[in-house]
Amino acid sequence: MQTENNLILITGGGSGIGRGLAEAFQALGNQVIIAGRRKQVLDDTTRANPGMVSYVADLQDSAGIRAFATRIAKDFPALNVLINNAGIMRVENLLAQQDDLADMEAMVATNLLGPIRLTAALLPLLQKQPRSVIMNVTSGLAFVPLAMTPAYCATKAALHAYTQSLRYQLKGTATEVLELVPPYVATELMNGGADPRAMPLGAFIAEVMALLKTGPNTVEICVENVKRLRFAAETGKYENIFQGLNQAMAQPPQ
């Protein structure tokens, strides 16, 4: 991915990893648009980063996504990078679920259907550009699930598979398809910001940007902290890592 001279849309860009990426890309001279559900969070981010633009968008709403994509295409016809980062993560007790499965359905709608729908809506615009990028943000938990968050892990595993298929279908075109695989990062997601076991957000963003600059042909962006999860199956250590992860996360942080 070329890290400069882009017009970039980042979903979930008002906080956490999304905001970190938005600020890092803007610092390199890119024009950045952020989108999310919480107007106050978006406003705080744009206020702190003059020149950044924000839109309120709910990725659980299929009709709203189409309308949002239409507006983006009209306002920013040169858009050439889409970063699907928005996501929600909730603990679920599968033995005591409510009949309506509201939490699970919200995660599927936001984490999986949202990126698929927005990609489909914006792909015609992206393919008009001389070069373009779609980056989907998955998780190390796509490869080794955290049992207390089953639907979240399932959506990220599905997004990984979708990303692979999208990349294959777009091979030979000017649209590059990347996957960013975060570890446990110190953000508000699952209260990671208060957990010393989480990777500091600033360190994560710095390593990601360095990888993007130095590895132009890399399709999966994996910082060192996530490689243990990402390659658990390949190294033959999956069962040990699965058990260790779930035992460790069942304990409160020290």
Catalytic residues: 152
CB 246 within 8 A of CB 146: yes
Rounded CA-CA distance 221/178 in Å is 8
Rounded CA-CA distance 38/106 in Å is 16
Rounded CA-CA distance 119/117 in Å is 5
Rounded CA-CA distance 191/186 in Å is 8
Enumerate the β-bridge partners of residue 9: 33, 82
Amino acid letter, residue 20:
G
Which residues, at least 6 apart from 104, have a Cβ–Cβ distance to it below 8 Å? 92, 97, 151
Which spans in 53-186 are helix H?
A: 62-75, 102-107, 114-126, 150-169
Q: Compute the radius of gyration of the chain from its Cα atoms.
A: 18
Tokens of 61: 């709403």
Residue in the block written with tokens 């020290």: 254
Rounded CA-CA distance 3/64 in Å is 29
